[in-house]
Amino acid sequence: MKGALLIVRKELLELRRSPVLLLSMTSLPATVVVVPVLLLAWLVRAAPTQALDWLQDLYKVPASSPTAALVAVLAKNWLPMFLVLPIFLPILLAAQSIGGERERRTLEPLLATPVSTLEIIIGKSVAALVPALAITWIASALFCAGVDAAVWTRLHAFPLPDGPWLFATLVLSPLLSLFGNALAVVVSARIVDPRAAQNVAATTVVPLLGLLVIQLAGGISLGPGFYLGFALGALVADVALIALAVRLFDREKLLTRWR
């Protein structure tokens, strides 16, 4: 696995020297953290009690106070956004994995070395997963800290992270990162243009965003049962996609496919 380690190191070094890619990877998480925390801080300070009561009523959240209800509504409804991140971020990197090598004409020299197919897949995947998970976890920690700080004066407690939040961050995020990455590797192995591969892979976050919108509109309520089922589904999809990625990664076809 020395080859995989070398590939990881090389990919991370390239990422570190790519400010545009780093910016594109951090801009979405920053927005996902900063906007709701600022909104929450404003609501806690300035929103009329009737508005908070209305929110509590709309989302049917059992809470001890309007502020606690506000936090519960935000935590419940904003959690899916933190599930979009671990899918979306590795796609930004992994979709470039094979297509990018092909575009830079580095694929042939890379495949001419004794490094194995599995080492290349593992190396590329870990290099996409590590920064994606790190950014997701940092964003999640900052969000929780921001929410707790915003409501501290009213609640004198740290409502986040709660159980679902911890489950989503520690269990679902790695599984979804793996899913996003494996999907991007599969798409990247079949589609030559890295940008097209990125776009195709990125469409997988659309259903999750759809669920988020429906939940925000009060149409559904995603509870622990949903997230548990989601985790099991992600696990099955991960195994299937990784097997497919290894099967599709044919050294010869990668060199000869140009469409």
Partner 1 sequence: MLAIEVRSLGKSFGKRRACWDLSFEIARGEVFGLLGPNGAGKTTTLRMLAGLYAPDQGSGTVAGLDLVTGGAALRRKVGLLTESPGFYGRLGARENLLFFAGLYGVSKRDALLRAARLLERFALASHADRPFAELSRGMKQKLAIARALIHEPEVILLDEPTVGLDPEATREVRTLIEELAREQRTLVLCTHHLAEVERLCSRAAFVAGRLIGVHKIEHAQQGRVRIELAAAHAAAALRAAELGPLRLAEQGKVLLLTPRCEIPEAVAALVAVGARIVAVSPDRDPLEDAYLQLLAEARALGLAGDEPGAVL
CB of 243 to partner 1, least distance (A): 22
Rounded-to-integer distance, Cα 206 and Cα 14, Å: 29
Contacts with partner 1: how many residues (CB under 8 A)? 25
Cis peptide before 86 (omega within 30 of 0): no
Answer yes or no whether residue 250 interacts with partner 1 by CB under 8 A.
no
Structure tokens at 100: 């990018």
Q: Is the dihedral of CA 167, 170, 175, 180 positive or negative?
A: positive
Name which of 100 and 161 has its Cβ closer to partner 1: 100
Site pattern 81..120 for partner 1 (x: CB under 8 A): -----------------------xxxxxxxxxxxxx----
Near partner 1 by CB under 8 A: residue from 156, 225, 256, 259: 256
CB of 23 to partner 1, least distance (A): 15
Answer yes or no whether residue 14 interacts with partner 1 by CB under 8 A.
yes
CB of 108 to partner 1, least distance (A): 5
Answer yes or no whether residue 6 interacts with partner 1 by CB under 8 A.
yes
Rounded-to-integer distance, Cα 105 and Cα 239, Å: 30
Answer yes or no whether residue 60 interacts with partner 1 by CB under 8 A.
no
Answer yes or no whether residue 126 interacts with partner 1 by CB under 8 A.
no
Name which of 7 and 172 has its Cβ closer to partner 1: 7
Name which of 107 and 242 has its Cβ closer to partner 1: 107
Residues contacting 131, CB < 8 A, separation 6+: 12, 15, 25, 89, 93
Site residues (CB under 8 A) for partner 1? Answer: 2-3, 6, 10, 13-14, 17-18, 104-116, 251-252, 255-256
